Amino acid sequence: MTETIMKKIENRIRILPKGTVIIPSDFAKLGNDNAIRQGIYKLTQRGMLISLGNGMYKKANFNELLQKEVPVDPNQLAKAYARKKNWIIFPSKNLALNVLGLSTQVPNTYTYKSNGTNAEVQIANNRIVFEKVMPKNMAKNQISNIVIEAINYLGKETITNEDLRTIKNHLSVKELNNLKSDSQRSTIWIKELIQEMEQL
């Protein structure tokens, strides 16, 4: 590994927000795999990075006031794991409700839909579950996937107009238009609710 490659990795990491989760392949364009791994290892030794296991690392995020390291964001872990596997993912179940402001409850398990395989991983004390969904059932736009998942999770008989208003308020005009288009693959009752939501 040349010092130049390590310096390039270090410079990239310096501009990232504290707590950012990275994987070696994020730096693939900077050099060969061995050089990148050596660079990450040295930055871990220096305390700039913290190893999380599973080939993931976090940019150190020490809270001076509390005098302790800030826990890693589970969503960042899931995204890094998905990058590692080359998967497309989106929040599912309670996590989808959180994203849209429909729930403030912090889930014990972070669940995502994925075009990869079914998987359950434990990383840095976080349980993350990936549930396989057929690519043909995934919408083109990420936010559409989240909205459709949230509506489906709440259920036809229990979702309220207030829920629909909350969802609508989280969407831009463009996102709402994309949702109408993306929902054409959904079940009839979900398409109808999305049409109703537009009128609220």
Residue 24, Ramachandran bin (φ over 0: left; ψ between -120 and 50: alpha; else beta): alpha
Residue pLDDT, tens place only, 23-74: 999 999 998 999 999 999 999 999 999 999 989 999 999 999 999 999 999 9
Contact 109, 129 (CB under 8 A): yes
Q: How far is CA 28 from the centre of its chain?
A: 21
Confidence of residue 106 (pLDDT cuts 50, 70, 90): confident
Q: Among 178, 158, 172, 168, which Cα is nearest to 199's?
A: 168
Asked whether residue 93 carries a pLDDT value surpassing 60, the answer given is: yes
Long-range contacts of 157-164 (CB under 8 A, 24+ apart): 159/193, 161/196, 161/200, 163/102, 164/193, 164/196, 164/197, 164/200
- For residue 3, the model assigns a pLDDT of 64
Domains, the chain, with CATH or none: 3-69 (1.10.10.10), 74-199 (no CATH)
Stated pTM of the model: 0.88
Mean pLDDT along residues 169-189: 93
Mean pLDDT estimate for the chain? 93
